[in-house]
Amino acid sequence: MGIESDQVVYEYLSRVGDVAQQRQLPSGIRMRLVSELRNEIDRRRAKATVDSPAAVRRILERLGTPESVVAAANADTGGGEGPAEPRAAVPTQRAQEPEPRSKRLRRVVPRPRPAEPDVPATADSAPSPPHLASTEELGSGQPDWWRVESSPFGSADSVPGFTGGIEIPELLKPPPPEKDEPDPKPAAPAVVPAPPVEAAEADVAAGKKARRFVPRLRPVGGGWTNPLLLLAAALLVAGAAIGNLVMLGLGWLIAYLSRRLSPTESKWAVLGVPGLVATAGIVWLWGRTEGRWGTPIADGRMNDAVAETWPWVLRGAAIASALYLVWRSQRPR
């Protein structure tokens, strides 16, 4: 059942109720009329193949306009044909008795004419015309008849005989104040005999001397850590000392595959530090070529100079990488 179709039905029933109220039908007849119309509309909508606003309008057209439906219901009940109750006559105001006027003012002030007596209102046998106010102007003082629940209390929100709410005395009482617990008495500080001044000065002097002459053999972390990185550094130093390329390559490979170092640190240990050393070697050769430092390189002797320089550059790169690995291996976790 669509919302738009229900809206069309509600508008039709509302118009029927307004017309029935204008025709002065009793409330029981109006309620029964609206209920029967609602049941008839629901029955026809259930038989219809398509439930749409257009189909609902066709059903309402077959039922007739609200005026014709109310007129048929009024004719069936025989209401509205009997004579209406006579209205109470409006009492007329008594005519004031003329007061005696002075003879002096008779010639100056004209005598007032007697007012015509008011015709008393007679009972009108015709019923009063229906009002033309809509439900929006009348307000929502009473709900629609078909929306009132069939309960003993109707649409009322309260039940007769039950007033007020549930009161618990414990909830209305303020919370009791918290009792401040007395602080325990502070224990008397233990009296420690102060050492003699001379003995304290002697101990301080002895401690300073021990710090000066005893070297620190272990790092702050509590011992050497990451033996794999230390092994790589040892391989690099040993390979640089004996000129073994296999040991150098193995040391750099361990440093690159180590999980202790981050990817950036691994690249620095294997590529960055050796690259800086290689750059320093190139600068050294350039300075010799330009005659800025070292022995100048003669023309055609560059290959010999490179052959003499690159072993030292390789050793320097290995030692620099080893120092970098030792430094990064002893960092705190």
What are the backbone angles phi and psi of residue 175, rounded to the nearest 5°?
Answer: -65, 145
Strongest mean pLDDT among 101-105, 314-318, 326-330: 314-318
DSSP secondary structure, 61-120, as one string:
HHH--HHHHHHHHHHHHTTT-SPPPPPPPPPPPPPPPPPPPPSTTTTTSPPPPPPPPPPP
- The lowest-confidence range among 110-124, 231-245, 279-293 is 110-124
Look at residue 155 in the predicted model and tell me its pLDDT: 54
Q: Which helix (H) or strand (E) holds 151?
A: none
Reported as a pLDDT band with limits 50, 70 and 90, residue 243 is: confident
Q: Residue 163 domain-assigned?
A: no
Number of helices and strands in the chain (H, E): 12, 0
What would the two tokens of residue 311 be?
Answer: 């072993």
Contact 277, 320 (CB under 8 A): yes
User: Residues 66-81: pLDDT tens digits?
Assistant: 888 888 887 877 654 4
Q: Is residue 241 part of a domain?
A: yes
Residue 210 has pLDDT above 60, yes or no: no
State the DSSP code for 124.
P
In a domain, 9, yes or no: yes
Residue 149: how many other CB atoms lie within 10 Å: 9
The candidate with the shortest Cα–Cα distance to 36, out of 20, 22, 52, 49, is: 20
Query: Would 270 be classed as within a structural domain?
Result: yes
Residue that is last in its domain, among 61, 77, 93: 77
- Closest alpha carbon to 12 in 81, 85, 61, 80: 61
Q: Distances from the Cα of 129 to the Cαs of 35, 83, 134, 289, in angstroms? A: 26, 14, 15, 125
Distance CA 135, CA 106 (A): 61
pLDDT tens string 29-60: 888 888 888 888 888 888 877 778 888 888 88
Q: Decide: 329 and 227 in contact? Cβ < 8 Å.
A: no
For 66, the domain range is 3-77
Q: What are phi and psi of 306, to 5 degrees?
A: -65, -40
| Two structure tokens written together for 274 | 């050796």
Provide the whole-model pTM: 0.34
Q: Looking at the 3D structure of the chain, how many domains does it have?
A: 2
The residue ranking higher by pLDDT, 105 or 19, is: 19
Closest by CA to 317, choosing from 285, 283, 279, 287, is 279
Residue 118 lies in a domain: no
Question: Residue 246 pLDDT > 80, yes or no?
Answer: yes
Average pLDDT over residues 271-275: 89
Is residue 198 a part of any domain in this protein? no
pLDDT of residue 131: 53
Give percent above pLDDT 70 in the chain. 58
By mean pLDDT, which of 22-26, 165-169, 252-256 is the weakest?
A: 165-169
Dihedral angle computed from the Cα positions of residues 245, 249, 250 and 253, in that order, rounded to the nearest 10 degrees: 180
In a domain, 171, yes or no: no
Please state, in angstroms and rounded to a whole number, the distance separating the CA atoms of residues 129 and 22: 8
* Residue 213: predicted pLDDT: 42
- Per-residue pLDDT of 81-131, as tens digits, reads 444 444 444 455 555 555 555 555 455 555 666 555 555 555 455 555 555
pLDDT surpasses 50 at 199: no
CB 297 within 8 A of CB 289: yes
Query: CA angle, 80 as apex, 79 and 83 as ends, to 5°?
Result: 115
Domain boundary among 46, 77, 108: 77
The answer to whether position 273 is within a domain reads: yes
The domain boundary, picked from 48, 77, 106, lies at 77
